[in-house]
Structure formats: structure tokens, C-alpha cells
């Protein structure tokens, strides 16, 4: 073992190398995000962070809990498939605090034509009117109750 007698310089190199490895491992621990690689080459926690965002639209299931009368009326008419917030806008704030957050009343003359103004690009079978000729100036709900638009027409014909 005589050849190792003057081996102190080798020990020093090994020590420096070992410290380098430790520094690398510690640095990597500090720099790589904690959940990185949990599901793939990305930060796994990013999924839960995206899911944490708060909804602005309550969803028709929430509306129907309280407004079951409107839901029942709507189900009988041509607007059965139109969800509440398609016309009434996002109502999550109203759903979580119905007392103090009241949905705005809708101006049907402007709202209804968004969908029902005649446009050659719309599917031909979709009910469309020319707002300048179809009773201009009258609010739509005069003849068409919005939750069942053809109710009166079918009663009178």
C-alpha cells in the first residue's frame, strides 16, 4: 500500500467532485418546480391551478333549482334547448347571492335580433325576420313570450 501513502491530492479531487455533485443535486431541487414530471414533462400542479378559476356562468342546472316554473314553461316551447344564460348573460354572481345581485331586464328588441335577424349565412330553416319590416318599434314580447315564443300564435291560429 505504499503507493497510496502520498495520495492526499487524490482525496482532495474526490472531495471537490463530491461537493460538486451535492451542489448540483441541491440546485436542481431548488430550481425544478416541485410537481414537475408528475404526469409528464410539465408542472403537475398547473392542472389544479387552472381548475381553480371561478365560473362566471352558473349553468342551467343551477338556474333550474329556483326557477323551475320558467324551466317547465320553456320545456314546452321552441326555446327548450336554449339555456338561460344564452339570453340572460352570465349569472354565477346571482346564483351565489340571489338577494343582492339581480339580473338586468332585457331589451328584447335588441336581444332577439341577434339570433333572428335575417342573414343569408344563417341556416335557411332557422326562423328569421327582417327587423325593419316585422312590426318595427314593437318589443318582441308583445306577441312572443320569450320563454315560449310561439305560445300566443298557436293559440290564436
- Interface ranges with other proteins (CB under 8 A): 8, 11-12, 15, 22, 25-26, 29-30, 33-36, 38-57, 59-61, 81-83, 85-87, 89-90, 114-115, 117-123, 126
Nearer to other proteins, 90 or 98 (CB): 90
Residue identified by cell 293559440 is 155
85 touches 60 (CB < 8 A)? yes
Widest distance between CA atoms in the chain:
116
* Closer by beta carbon to other proteins, 38 or else 69: 38
35 in Cβ contact with 109 (< 8 Å):
no
Nearer residue to other proteins within complex by CB, 33 or 98: 33
Contact 143/152 with Cβ under 8 angstroms?
yes
What single string gives the DSSP state of each residue in 88-139?
A: H---HHHHH-TTT--PPPP-HHHHHHHHHB--TTS-TTS--B-TTTSSTTS-
Instruction: State the minimum distance, in angstroms, from the CB of residue 29 to other proteins.
Output: 5
Nearer to other proteins, 104 or 121 (CB): 121
Min. distance of Cβ 74 from other proteins in angstroms?
12
Between residues 45 and 142, which has the closer beta carbon with respect to other proteins? 45
Question: Least distance (Å) from other proteins to the CB of residue 134?
Answer: 14
Spatial distance between the Cα atoms of 24 and 27, rounded to a whole number of angstroms: 5
Give min distance, CB of 156 to other proteins, in A.
Answer: 25
Reading the block at residue 115, the C-alpha cell is 339570433
Nearest approach, Cβ of residue 90 and other proteins (Å): 5
Amino acid at each position: 500500500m505504499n503507493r497510496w501513502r502520498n495520495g492526499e491530492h487524490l482525496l482532495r479531487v474526490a472531495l471537490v467532485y463530491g461537493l460538486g455533485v451535492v451542489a448540483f443535486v441541491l440546485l436542481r431541487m431548488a430550481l425544478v418546480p416541485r410537481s414537475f414530471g408528475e404526469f409528464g414533462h410539465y408542472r403537475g400542479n398547473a392542472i389544479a391551478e387552472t381548475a381553480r378559476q371561478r365560473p362566471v356562468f352558473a349553468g342551467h342546472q343551477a338556474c333550474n333549482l329556483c326557477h323551475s316554473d320558467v324551466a317547465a314553461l320553456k320545456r314546452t316551447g321552441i326555446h327548450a334547448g336554449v339555456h338561460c344564460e344564452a339570453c340572460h348573460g352570465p349569472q354565477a354572481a346571482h346564483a351565489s347571492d340571489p338577494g343582492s345581485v339581480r339580473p338586468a331586464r332585457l331589451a328584447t328588441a335588441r336581444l332577439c335580433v341577434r339570433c333572428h335577424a335575417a342573414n343569408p349565412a344563417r341556416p335557411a330553416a332557422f326562423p328569421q325576420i327582417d327587423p325593419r319590416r316585422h312590426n318595427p318599434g314593437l318589443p318582441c314580447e308583445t306577441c312572443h313570450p320569450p320563454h315560449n315564443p310561439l305560445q300566443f300564435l298557436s293559440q290564436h291560429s
